[in-house]
Structure 1
Amino acid sequence: MKQSKLKVSEVGQYVSQEYFEQHTNCYKENFPGTASSFTIPKSLIEKVINLSPQVKGIRFMYGLADQLNPNSIRILLIPCSARSEYSIGNQAILIKQGYYDHLGERHSVLQTCELISTFVNDIKRRDQELNYKEITRGGFFGKKKLLEFIKDSQGDQITLHFSYKEEIIHPILEFQKENNSLFSNWSQPCPPLCGGKSEPEEILEEENDDCLATAAVSKIHQQSSEKVLDLYRVFRDNKLLDMKGGAIYYELYYFISPYVSCYIDHQTNKTDLLKSIYYDKITPFHHLLVEHKYEEALAFLKDTLSEWVEDYQVEVIEL
């Protein structure tokens, strides 16, 4: 994982009217016939920010409720934590009660990942040249910036617009101020992990890894970890997405992995926990892949991810 001089809570910036029009029009041209703007109550954004002291910002993620209806898009408000104040990556907090969409409806962790996978598959269907793994799932705004935007603007809601630039679907937030609009652009896209370099700031390397399997395998195999991980990547890229329900669990792994990895990283028995994951979860999964038992491997993956969600999710008290 990387760090930046920019605090994670301050991610987000204003953009010009010209920038807004250029890139929102680009989205409409590339994905015609689909909804491209969504209203979100300010009170809902504030509620999500206040769910936990861990919240450093909100990841606005994209879901699709009905695969046959490209206009059934749901904007999912995912509260995120971070390893440090200056982390570039962020982690979706695993909340037992689930996550709100822009309509105020709530979805469990698994339902959220199903919505995301349906959206990504729809984008992939529309543009076959796009790589499934690299399609944008959402964008992150820091807590401090969001609260500033809300305070500086009028009305009781904001509008999120889809824009498109360099094969990335950017969320742009529009706020009303007197007779003008203020447009705020994202800084961190999530395809599927939210850890890319976002600003031309000085970058410092950290030893942590947001991918749980990579962290566990590296702890055991060290120098030869890439060879071991390649087997899982081949299954992910060439088998999993074509299996029934595979895309949902693809999304679920990347959705929960950073949060679980971060939790483990802060424990005094970190090494023992990673070894337990390796021997109890990764090794049996590895054997199934070696034996080409892919359906059994998917079933094992489902059980493992469901167990991690149950073990690491937190219950929040809403005010």
Structure 2
Amino acid sequence: MILLLVCVPLLTPFLAVPAARRAAAVLAPRAAVALLTATALVLAASATAALALLVVPGASYLPAVAVLEELGRPLTIGPPVVTVGLALAAAGALLRLVLPAGAGLLRDRAEVRRARAAAGPGGGELAVLRDARPDAYALPGRPGRIVVTTGMLRALEPAEREALFAHERAHLRGRHHLHLQAMEVAARCHPALRALREPLCYALERTADEAAATAVGDRRLAARAIGRAALATRSAPAPVAHRPRAALAAVAGPVPRRVAALLGAGDSRATRPRAGRLVAGALLLCLAVSGGTALGAAGEVHAHIESAQGETSGP
């Protein structure tokens, strides 16, 4: 029973990801961001918990663990060789998946620190870098800053600059980098969740696009600013080296699709409500099944531990 329960959280992401990828297309951008982030975190946490629960029965064969937990007999989910083999495999998977997630977070923090140092000690919202290569991005931190190069400032007209700054300001105000980092951690905990990176990035950029259009009061101006900024960046000889991976930028993602959405030719804020409800319902069902079975497996393991503690070893 335990083996069956732990298999469900490990397999559910493969079923949920196709529906989750549709969320960015059929839901309003802000709703898609929330649903995609929640989906990734719950599925990753459930799968990680399932792997950890697989380790427990095998670990109970170790004398030190048996004495520590006062077990009268080892826990088992099958023959001893199967129980121990699954425990070793699960432990290896945990080390291979979870440790790089922590290392990735430390790497991102180091990159942000370096980028903040490169932006200078000024306390203003806007940091201008003397660099001919066009670039602009939202640099997280306390306080968050909008970093723009002189090359990008020359590439845009004054009104377009304001639209670009409004876009990056929306990333900072919404703390969008936290959603991105949460997705990175989840993607490292389960390989199927890596497919959610692109739709989440798109939903984050669309959220900032809509905020910029509202701030400047002109959707065409916002679309033009994003399009021109992307063209300027694409034509640069090389990307700006000091942009950290955790920083979001208006030139990221499928820019033509985003511009079309702002102009009303693609997906708009008023998305397909029926399709959105179906996608949201399917994802919530997957989350309930994954989280519920992980909790059920934890309950089964706990019951086995209590049963083993109530038994005495032979004389």
Q: TM-score, normalised by structure 2?
A: 0.27
Where is the strand percentage greater, Structure 1 or Structure 2? 1
Where is the helix percentage greater, Structure 1 or Structure 2? 2
Larger RCO (alpha carbons 8 Å, 6+ apart): 2
Structure having the higher Rg: 2
Q: TM-score, normalised by structure 1?
A: 0.27
